[in-house]
Structure 1
Amino acid sequence: MRTAPSRAARHAARFLAREREAERMRAVFPRALNEECGVFGIIGGADDAATKVALGLHALQHRGQEACGITTYDGERFFSDKKLGLVSGAFTEAATLDALKGNAGIGHTRYSTAGGSDLRNVQPLYADLDRGGLAVAHNGNLTNARTLRADLIRKGSIFHTTSDSELFVQLAALSRGLSMVDKVTDSLSAVEGAYALCVLTQDALLGVRDPQGIRPLVLGKLGNAAVLASESCAFDLIGAEFVRDVRPGEMVICRPDGSVESRQIFADRKARPCIFELIYFARPNSFVDGESVYELRKRLGRQLAEEAPASADLVSPIPDSGVPAAIGFAQRSGLAYEMALIRSHYSGRTFIEPSQQIREAGVARKHSANIGVVRGKRVVLIDDSLVRGTTSRKITTMLREAGAREVHFRIACPPIVYPDFYGIDTPSQDELMASSHSVDEMCGMIGADSLGFLSLDGLYTALGKGPRRSEEPAFTDHCFTGDYPTALADQERKDTRAKIEQLSLLRESS
Structure 2
Amino acid sequence: MSDEIKHECGLAFIRLRKPFSYYKQQYGTVLYGLNKLYLLMEKQHNRGQDGAGMASVKLATEPGNPFLYRIRSNEPRAIADIFSQISQEISELEKYQPDLLQHPDIVKGHIQAMGELLLGHLRYGTQGRNNVEFCHPFIKRHTVKSRNLVMAGNFNLVNTEELFSLINIDPGVFQRQSDLAAMLETIHYFLVQEDEQHPGAMDVSRILKKATALFDGGFTFGGLVGNGEAFVMRDANGIRPAYYYVNEDVIVGASERAAIRTTFNVGENEVQELMPGCALIVHADGTYAVEQILEPRERKACSFERIYFSRGNDEKIYKERIALGRHLSEPVLKAVNNDLRNTVFSFIPNTAEVAFYGLLKGMEGYLNKIKVERILSWGKDYDEEKLAEMVNRRIRVEKIAIKDVKMRTFITEDAGRNEMVQHVYDITYGTVERGKDALVVIDDSIVRGTTLKESIVRMLSRLEPTKIIIVSSAPQIRYPDCYGIDMSKLGDFIAFRAAIALLKERGMENVLHDTFNACKELQRNNALHTANLVRNIYAPFTPEEISGKIAELITPKDIKIPIQVIYQTIEDLHASCPTNLGDWYFTGNYPTPGGNRVVNKAFLNYMEGRNVRGY
Query: Please, what TM-score do these two structures have when normalized by structure 1?
Result: 0.80
C-alpha distance in 2 between matches for 1:256 and 1:114: 33
Name the structure where strand makes up a greater proportion of residues: 1
Question: For 2:457, which of 396, 421, 443 is the aligned residue?
Answer: 396
C-alpha distance in 2 between matches for 1:206 and 1:221: 14
C-alpha distance in 1 between matches for 2:171 and 2:585: 34
Alignment match, 1:338: 398
Alignment match, 2:252: 227
Larger displacement relative to structure 2 (161-170 or 379-388): 161-170
Q: In the TM superposition, what is the alpha-carbon distance from 1:477 to its structure 2 partner?
A: 0.8
Deviation track 1:402-431 (CA, whole Å, cap 9, x = no partner) reads 454532101112111111011111241121
SS at match of 1:213: coil
Contact 2:480 2:599 in 1 (8 A): no
Larger displacement relative to structure 2 (128-137 or 427-436): 128-137
Alignment match, 1:482: 588
Q: In the TM superposition, what is the alpha-carbon distance from 1:116 to its structure 2 partner?
A: 1.4
Alignment match, 1:470: none
C-alpha distance in 2 between matches for 1:402 and 1:496: 40
Across the aligned residues of Structure 1 and Structure 2, the Cα RMSD in angstroms comes to: 3.2
Shift in alpha-carbon separation, 1:137–1:445, aligned structure 2, 3 A: same
Question: For 1:110, which of 96, 113, 123 is the aligned residue?
Answer: 123
Given residue 462 of structure 1, which amino acid in structure 2 is its aligned partner? S
Deviation track 1:68-93 (CA, whole Å, cap 9, x = no partner) reads 00001122301100010333442342
- Structure 1 residue 367 corresponds to structure 2 residue 425: yes
Q: In the TM superposition, what is the alpha-carbon distance from 1:185 to its structure 2 partner?
A: 3.5
SS at match of 2:592: coil
SS at match of 1:451: strand
Shift in alpha-carbon separation, 1:109–1:361, aligned structure 2, 3 A: farther
C-alpha distance in 2 between matches for 1:427 and 1:402: 36
Contact 1:38 1:63 in 2 (8 A): yes
C-alpha distance in 1 between matches for 2:484 and 2:275: 19
- Structure 1 residue 272 corresponds to structure 2 residue 386: no
The within-5 A match list for 1:450-461 is 450-461=564-575
Shift in alpha-carbon separation, 1:358–1:194, aligned structure 2, 3 A: farther
- Structure 1 residue 317 corresponds to structure 2 residue 317: no
Question: For 2:194, which of 171, 177, 181 is the aligned residue?
Answer: 177
Alignment match, 1:52: 36
SS at match of 1:165: helix
SS at match of 1:283: coil
Larger displacement relative to structure 2 (389-398 or 487-496): 487-496
SS at match of 2:141: strand
Alignment match, 2:81: 90
C-alpha distance in 2 between matches for 1:238 and 1:95: 23
The within-5 A match list for 1:47-446 is 47-48=30-31, 49-75=33-59, 76=61, 77-85=67-75, 86-93=77-84, 94-95=87-88, 99-113=112-126, 116-129=129-142, 130=144, 131-149=146-164, 152=167, 155-156=169-170, 160-161=174-175, 162-175=177-190, 176-178=193-195, 179=202, 181=204, 182-201=206-225, 202-221=227-246, 224-241=249-266, 242-255=270-283, 259-286=287-314, 292-309=316-333, 310-311=335-336, 313-334=343-364, 335-344=395-404, 347=406, 366-374=424-432, 376=434, 377-393=437-453, 394-437=455-498, 438-446=546-554
Q: In the TM superposition, what is the alpha-carbon distance from 1:244 to its structure 2 partner?
A: 0.5
C-alpha distance in 2 between matches for 1:330 and 1:71: 45
Question: For 1:449, which of 563, 576, 598 is the aligned residue?
Answer: 563
Shift in alpha-carbon separation, 1:213–1:265, aligned structure 2, 3 A: same
Alignment match, 2:542: none
Q: In the TM superposition, what is the alpha-carbon distance from 1:124 to its structure 2 partner?
A: 0.5
Shift in alpha-carbon separation, 1:158–1:228, aligned structure 2, 3 A: same
Larger radius of gyration: 2
Contact 1:360 1:390 in 2 (8 A): no
Contact 1:39 1:107 in 2 (8 A): yes
Shift in alpha-carbon separation, 1:416–1:493, aligned structure 2, 3 A: closer
Larger displacement relative to structure 2 (195-204 or 244-253): 195-204
Shift in alpha-carbon separation, 1:155–1:236, aligned structure 2, 3 A: closer
Larger displacement relative to structure 2 (448-457 or 242-251): 448-457
Given residue 206 of structure 1, which amino acid in structure 2 is its aligned partner? F
C-alpha distance in 2 between matches for 1:91 and 1:277: 27
SS at match of 2:279: strand
Shift in alpha-carbon separation, 1:412–1:491, aligned structure 2, 3 A: same
Given residue 235 of structure 1, which amino acid in structure 2 is its aligned partner? I
Shift in alpha-carbon separation, 1:61–1:434, aligned structure 2, 3 A: same
Name the structure where helix makes up a greater proportion of residues: 2
SS at match of 2:115: coil
C-alpha distance in 2 between matches for 1:78 and 1:361: 50
Contact 1:39 1:229 in 2 (8 A): yes
Deviation track 1:162-194 (CA, whole Å, cap 9, x = no partner) reads 210112221122212242613344221211110
Larger displacement relative to structure 2 (433-442 or 476-485): 433-442
SS at match of 1:294: helix
Larger displacement relative to structure 2 (384-393 or 368-377): 368-377
Given residue 368 of structure 1, which amino acid in structure 2 is its aligned partner? D
- Structure 1 residue 40 corresponds to structure 2 residue 12: yes
C-alpha distance in 2 between matches for 1:142 and 1:186: 16
C-alpha distance in 2 between matches for 1:449 and 1:495: 34
C-alpha distance in 1 between matches for 2:595 and 2:571: 30
C-alpha distance in 2 between matches for 1:137 and 1:114: 14
Given residue 56 of structure 1, which amino acid in structure 2 is its aligned partner? L
Contact 1:389 1:446 in 2 (8 A): yes
Report how many residues are paired. Answer: 449
Given residue 88 of structure 2, which amino acid in structure 1 is its aligned partner? A
Shift in alpha-carbon separation, 1:87–1:190, aligned structure 2, 3 A: same
SS at match of 1:271: coil
Larger displacement relative to structure 2 (360-369 or 169-178): 360-369
Contact 1:157 1:170 in 2 (8 A): no
Larger displacement relative to structure 2 (74-83 or 375-384): 375-384
Contact 1:36 1:63 in 2 (8 A): yes
Runs of at least 5 residues in structure 1 that lack an aligned partner in the other structure: 1-18, 20-33, 349-355, 466-473, 503-510
Given residue 304 of structure 1, which amino acid in structure 2 is its aligned partner? L
Shift in alpha-carbon separation, 1:259–1:373, aligned structure 2, 3 A: farther
Instruction: Report % sequence identity.
Output: 24
C-alpha distance in 2 between matches for 1:270 and 1:357: 48
Deviation track 1:422-445 (CA, whole Å, cap 9, x = no partner) reads 111124112111123121121122
Contact 2:218 2:483 in 1 (8 A): yes
Shift in alpha-carbon separation, 1:183–1:443, aligned structure 2, 3 A: same
Which contiguous aligned blocks of 4+ residues in structure 1 show a shift greater than 6 angstroms?
356-362
Contact 1:222 1:240 in 2 (8 A): no
Contact 1:123 1:136 in 2 (8 A): yes
Q: In the TM superposition, what is the alpha-carbon distance from 1:223 to its structure 2 partner?
A: 5.5
C-alpha distance in 2 between matches for 1:145 and 1:451: 39
Contact 2:164 2:170 in 1 (8 A): no
Query: Please, what TM-score do these two structures have when normalized by structure 2?
Result: 0.67
Q: In the TM superposition, what is the alpha-carbon distance from 1:386 to its structure 2 partner?
A: 0.6
Q: In the TM superposition, what is the alpha-carbon distance from 1:249 to its structure 2 partner?
A: 0.2
